[in-house]
Amino acid sequence: MLAARFTYHPRETWHRLIAEGCLYINDTPAQANQLLQDGDCLRYDFGGRPEPEVDCAYQVIFQDDALMIVNKPGSLPCHPAGRYFKNTLWTLLQQQEGLEQPRLVNRLDRETSGLVVVGKTLEATRHLARQFSEHSAEKQYLVVVEGSFPQEMDAIGWLTHDTSSVVRKKRCFVREKPREAISEACETRFTCVSHYNGISVVRAYPKTGCLHQIRATLCSLGYPIVGDKLYGVDETFFLKFIDDTLTSDDKHKLRMERQALHAESLYIMHPSTGERLAFHAPVPQDMACQGSGFLLR
């Protein structure tokens, strides 16, 4: 139950934490085979361990009374979850920008860098969120992948649960809609920018906005993202990362400390004036190094 509900730890890690006495049911140490009853209180004791370090150097590139546009670094979670609370963009915006209740409209994965839209009022947030849900907001991502990517590719199909994966939350892209599995329609256009030393620099234009859409699609197409521990060259790197057991050889195969995915450009309508706004976030240094700098320009 824990591994299914709280996916930031795999089943093996939850078993270890239970054995170490880190979980309590009604203030009594939990047992691995114990079933919860109505009214039970489950508590996870971190044991006073500090949160993992993150890159807090976000940049506000635009703001007015209705919205804020933030360039998020590649190792900063958007929202509190799992091991992170203070070290999140949500908390930093409260502390440093004075936003009482930051409303992040588009949520990037922790290791994805780039543009995040923040609504300052409830009305503005609803208007902006509608643009994303109705796919009128235009998004452009830059990504570095393994292999020689074709000049152009349209990936139109479905995202569904990857039943072959050892990681429960992993998804996969298929062209035909699965008959029985729960799936989401997704569409992404890809164009190749360049090839370099066994990798390709690619731009992705997602038409839909599904969870892990770009990462899962590229992995299923045979072009795993450089540095991606879940959708990269070896999905077991994700389990090792969670348990902090990645070896130096693993890190060498990953090439980067985080996934090489960057939310580069965004086009939205201003929620108050209706003006079309365009925003761009420069390529981060870690991706420029992997993509050989000039190939990313």
Q: Which pLDDT belongs to residue 161? A: 95
Q: What is the largest CA-CA distance in the chain?
A: 60
Q: Rounded to an integer, what distance in angstroms lies between the CA atom of residue 283 and that of residue 73?
A: 11
**Residues 6 or more apart whose Cβ sits within 8 Å of residue 179:** none
Half-sphere exposure of 290 (CA within 13 A, CB side): 27
Q: Which pLDDT belongs to residue 39? A: 79
Q: Which pLDDT belongs to residue 33? A: 80
Q: What is the pTM of this model?
A: 0.83
Q: Which pLDDT belongs to residue 60? A: 97
Q: Which pLDDT belongs to residue 7? A: 67
Q: What are phi and psi of 18, to 5 degrees?
A: -65, -45
* Strand stretches in the chain, DSSP E: 23-25, 28-29, 42-44, 59-63, 67-72, 103-104, 113-119, 138-146, 152-161, 171-174, 183-196, 199-206, 261-269, 276-280
Count helices and strands (H / E) in the chain: 8, 14
Q: Dihedral sign, CA of 157, 163, 165, 170?
A: positive
DSSP lists the bridge partners of residue 134 as none
Q: Which pLDDT belongs to residue 289? A: 79
Alpha carbon dihedral 247, 251, 254, 260, in 10-degree steps, equals 130
Q: Rounded to an integer, what distance in angstroms lies between the CA atom of residue 142 and that of residue 140?
A: 7
Q: Which pLDDT belongs to residue 27? A: 75
**Which residues of the chain are under the pLDDT cut of 50?**
294
Angle (CA) 39-42-47 rounded to 5° is 155
Q: What are phi and psi of 271, to 5 degrees?
A: -65, -20
What domains lie within the chain, and their CATH numbers? Answer: 2-44 (no CATH), 59-296 (3.30.2350.10)
3-state SS class at 243: coil
Q: Rounded to an integer, what distance in angstroms lies between the CA atom of residue 72 and that of residue 266?
A: 14
3-state SS class at 12: helix
